Copies of this chain bind each other. A is one copy, B any other.
């Protein structure tokens, strides 16, 4: 397997080229991109694509994985670039980074967070990169608690079954994070997703010309709910 580097290289290049063209088609055709159209753009015949991707769904999966990584990178980079002690600044930075990426790549965002493609079932390999953005967001709460800048809500506000469920999530991703705080962090993530989706998919935009400021205010409301200090 060491000697076939040339073949492997040109093959990898071809795979990248296919993905690149497919990504371009994604912007216009949405989730129902056409293998034949991609092949046409590459000057190939449709059946040749099957040498590189066993099916259209596998090509979609590759694009989804890349999109998750790109979003995760953008979000984590925004968090890393902010002042680690400025919790609210980090919160807004992460939210804005997710929104910016979504606005710059609406088709990819729709692929990740839109209604699922009818016949398509996302493989398990996508579950791990999908959790990077929310983990980054809620990670701010973990850091804030460790720094003493955040006081957890009363634990008894959670019904027992919810607390138990959240305890498992906390054990896996945020050891030591109180469940009630995790619940609020997940509310923030849900809100972030809702805001971006409404802006991208919905028609509410007409009535809200100042979308940047509205977005910041709404994410700020969630920061208030969490208790992030001003």
Contact = CB atoms under 8 A, between A and B. Distances in A.
A114 B201 contact: yes
Given A29-B118, A115-B115, A221-B184, A194 B203 contact: no
Interface string A196-229: 0110010100011110011011100110110000
6 contacts: A114-B201, A158-B217, A169-B207, A187-B218, A193-B194, A193-B197
Contacts of A156: none
A162 B210 contact: yes
Assembly of this chain: how many copies?
A: 2
Interface in A150-185: 157-159, 161-162, 164-165, 168-169, 183-184
Contacts of A139: none
A115 B118 contact: no
A135 interface: no
Contacts of A183: 217-218, 221
Contacts of A29: 118
A191 interface: yes
A224 B221 contact: no
